[in-house]
């Protein structure tokens, strides 16, 4: 059986790694947090003292890390491993960073699969993620059984690492805009005297429905729980990466730049570690109302 490794057991990484561990009890893992490692070790995973230990034990190493600089640093350590033959980068870091990782690792004989996902930690645990993959055909074939264990649908978007990054950022730009516009409009309705729950029901039966109104608002805003499972800082990062891709390709982004300013404002208010659905609180504060269902 092929030995698997996983690097980065944060909010998203741990959920993905749980799916992999279900079919690979001896999963090789590393995370700087002992608390993050503990439940995996309890289920039979092999914990390592550092990144290199995983790369010297596992032929296929998955990584889900918080940002580009971290991903590039970790990938450089992985490339020194004796066992690793395929590196599956699941982080959302943008195509320039992914291209640099692929170039450096392939020079060391390690194939790279660009493989971000969409669906959040809940989707990862349920195995319902949307998986976007770009890379050589043989790398895709080798990783496919594991990708199918992680996600409901695997989309092959290209042969060049970096293309899946762009696909993920296109998706997240739309996601960020859906949330921002839905939040803003719902606050308007409540301010004008409409019932929040009724509004969502009407929208979801009409042309305004989107993933914010069908999923995020009912589960985490109307309830006041703000626990959908993704940090505001992560969405802000992805919007910034998407706008950087647009700059590199000379594509005007009038609407998404305005959306980006709202997410950036949330960051300036110290909300980065909060759930991304909490962004609506900024708009609620300005209007003096709350978008909640009756308790």
* Active-site annotation holds for 237: no
Cα–Cα nearest to 235, from 263, 261, 256, 212: 263
Instruction: Show Cβ contacts of residue 96 under 8 Å, excluding neighbours closer than 6 positions.
Output: 162, 248
Residue 26, CA atoms < 13 Å, CB-side half-sphere: 6
User: Domain-by-domain residue ranges, the chain?
Assistant: 4-160, 166-287
Mean pLDDT on 98-113: 97
Catalytic residue from among 122, 168, 219, 281 = 168
Q: Which CATH architecture has domain 4-160?
A: 3-Layer(aba) Sandwich (3.40)
CATH number for domain 166-287, candidates 3.10.180.10, 1.10.8.80, 1.10.30.50, 1.10.1040.10 = 1.10.1040.10
For tokens 């390709």, the residue is 249
Question: Whole-prediction pTM value?
Answer: 0.94
Query: How confident is the model at residue 187, as a pLDDT?
Result: 98
pLDDT tens-digit map of 178-217: 999 999 999 999 999 999 999 999 999 999 999 999 999 9
Quickly state the pLDDT bin for 122 (edges 50, 70, 90): confident
| Long-range pairs for 217-221: beta carbons < 8 A, 24 or more residues apart | 217/182, 217/183, 217/186, 217/277, 217/291, 220/275, 220/277, 221/183, 221/186, 221/277, 221/280, 221/291, 221/292
For tokens 């992999």, the residue is 20
Give, in degrees to the nearest 5, the angle at Cα 172 between 115 and 138: 15
Mean pLDDT on 123-131: 93
Proportion of the chain above pLDDT 90, given as a percent = 95
Query: How confident is the model at residue 23, as a pLDDT?
Result: 82
Mean pLDDT on 133-152: 96
Residue 235 has pLDDT above 90, yes or no: yes
Quickly state the pLDDT bin for 79 (edges 50, 70, 90): very high
Provide the 3-class DSSP secondary structure of residue 145: helix
At residue 222, φ and ψ (nearest 5 deg) are -60, -35
Give, in degrees to the nearest 5, the angle at Cα 110 between 27 and 103: 130
Asked if residue 204 lies in contact with residue 210, where contact means CB atoms within 8 angstroms, the answer is no
Residue 295 has pLDDT above 80, yes or no: no
> Measured on CA atoms in the order 222, 227, 229, 234, is the torsion positive or negative?
positive
CA 92/CA 233 separation, integer angstroms: 13
């Amino acid at each position: 059986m092929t030995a698997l490794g996983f690097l980065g057991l944060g909010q998203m990484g741990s959920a993905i790694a749980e799916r992999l561990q279900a079919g690979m009890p001896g999963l090789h893992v590393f995370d700087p947090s002992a608390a993050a490692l503990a439940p995996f070790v309890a289920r039979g995973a092999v914990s390592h003292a550092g990144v290199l230990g995983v790369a010297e034990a596992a032929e296929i190493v998955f990584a889900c890390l918080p940002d580009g600089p971290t991903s590039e640093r970790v990938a450089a350590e992985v490339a020194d491993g004796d066992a690793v033959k395929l590196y599956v980068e699941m982080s959302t870091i943008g195509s320039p960073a992914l291209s640099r990782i692929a170039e450096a690792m392939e020079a060391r004989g390690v194939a790279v699969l660009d493989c971000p996902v969409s669906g959040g930690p809940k989707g990862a645990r349920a195995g319902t993620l949307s998986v976007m993959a770009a890379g050589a055909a043989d790398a895709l074939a080798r990783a496919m059984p594991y990708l199918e264990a992680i996600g409901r649908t695997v989309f092959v978007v290209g042969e060049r690492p970096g293309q899946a990054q762009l696909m993920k950022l296109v998706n997240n730009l739309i996601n960020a805009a859906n949330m921002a516009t839905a939040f803003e409009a719902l606050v308007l309705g409540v301010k004008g005297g409409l019932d929040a729950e009724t509004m969502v029901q009407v929208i979801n039966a009409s042309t305004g429905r989107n993933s914010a109104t069908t999923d995020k608002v009912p589960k985490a805003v109307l309830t006041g729980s703000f626990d959908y499972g993704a940090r505001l800082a992560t969405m802000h990062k992805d919007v910034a990466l998407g706008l950087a891709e647009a700059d590199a390709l000379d594509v005007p982004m009038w609407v998404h730049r305005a959306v980006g300013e709202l997410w950036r404002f949330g960051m300036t208010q110290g909300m980065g570690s909060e759930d991304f659905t909490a962004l609506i609180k900024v708009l609620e504060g300005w209007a003096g109302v709350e978008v909640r269902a009756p308790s």
